[in-house]
Structure 1
């Protein structure tokens, strides 16, 4: 499983980097992306982010699974920006967004959720003075990261069932099955947490 938020085992230099260093690098990289004004530079940044995947032991399949959910949104953004601001702005925005998502996917695919959990717990440590439990903050953030790919998985399962029934039009009918699957997953997660004494 290699969607956003799911770790892919490996022994590359990026895998071995601490979670904090990777998140800090991601923050710097995304900030730099937002400062790009040239469309070709933005598209080049997206291409460079894609090239990092094989260097980190992640093949074309992992790259495609990270990028595929974003493609419909990129298409809509490209059309809208082209009509409103022109092709250069559309290329720049799509390049920036694509690069940011690919870099975020790279970080989460090469970082164990447990490492993310420990990092978030350390970062939330100073909040103890305000009565905040750092372990709860870390749990919420870790669960958020874990639940992002669940939405993509639920949508993919609903789409496969939709196509298997010979249905091709009205894709909005997949919304209800996706919501039902997500609710079931949330209930199962809640029951598991309750069984372990978490509330």
Structure 2
């Protein structure tokens, strides 16, 4: 089971909160973190985001799973900042990114997909006046949400194959297999949409 995924049934105040409130809170947290621009505050936010999982009833393993998928990107950011900037900036950026991804995953895991899509469709309704179909916006967002666990699964599968071949010390070799798997998934998704009559509007 992927640590990054879709709705996990549960109870509690966060589960009962409306989707708009959770997304607004996530936006506020992101703005506050970026505005503060302090590595100590960013580390505090990271610790709070890790504690949020057991507090809302989610297994701590889900939080560690998120970090396991994210660590190569965090490492790249940290190395670049340490080499060409300051270590405080490296700590701040990595902690900010990790905290926001963890919090976003909490929102995803505690919000039904249908509720999230209904919210986005309502928000997109004014765009009808400029020729944008709200249901298409909801479809794009649904595919985006679905791609989150797909990316995690592709990364995990590539890691397992990497270890099975006895490879080590060359994590860059994972990049191409992950991209190939994602392209295959995207191709399969496109074929499924076409088979169901959901395609672009380029037809005459």
Provide the TM-score with structure 2 as the length reference. Answer: 0.88
Task: Show CA shifts across 1:94-119 (max 9, x none).
Answer: 22222111111111111122222111
| Residue in 2 that maps onto 1:31 | 31
Task: Show CA shifts across 1:20-47 (max 9, x none).
Answer: 1111111111000101133212111110
| Residue in 2 that maps onto 1:166 | 166
Task: Return 5+ residue gaps in structure 1 as ranges.
Answer: none
Partner Cα distance (2:90, 2:180) in 1: 35
| Residue in 1 that maps onto 2:121 | 121
Provide the TM-score with structure 1 as the length reference. Answer: 0.90
Partner Cα distance (1:171, 1:71) in 2: 12
Q: Is the 1:2–1:8 contact (alpha carbons within 8 Å) kept by the matching residues of 2?
A: no
Question: 3-state DSSP class of the match of 1:42?
Answer: helix
Q: Is the 1:2–1:109 contact (alpha carbons within 8 Å) kept by the matching residues of 2?
A: no
Partner Cα distance (1:46, 1:171) in 2: 25
Q: Is the 1:121–1:134 contact (alpha carbons within 8 Å) kept by the matching residues of 2?
A: yes
Q: CA RMSD in A?
A: 1.8
Trace 1:85-124 onto structure 2 (pairs within 5 A).
Answer: 85-124=85-124
Partner Cα distance (1:91, 1:172) in 2: 23
Q: Which runs of 4+ in 1 moved over 3 A?
A: 1-5, 169-176
Task: Return 5+ residue gaps in structure 2 as ranges.
Answer: 200-204
Query: Which stretch shows the higher mean deviation, 87-96 or 144-153?
Result: 87-96
Kindly tell me: are residues 21 and 74 of structure 1, through their superposed partners in 2, closer, same or farther at Cα, counting changes over 3 Å? Answer: same
1:21 aligns with 2:17: no
| Residue in 1 that maps onto 2:64 | 64
| Residue in 2 that maps onto 1:182 | 182
Kindly tell me: are residues 101 and 136 of structure 1, through their superposed partners in 2, closer, same or farther at Cα, counting changes over 3 Å? Answer: same
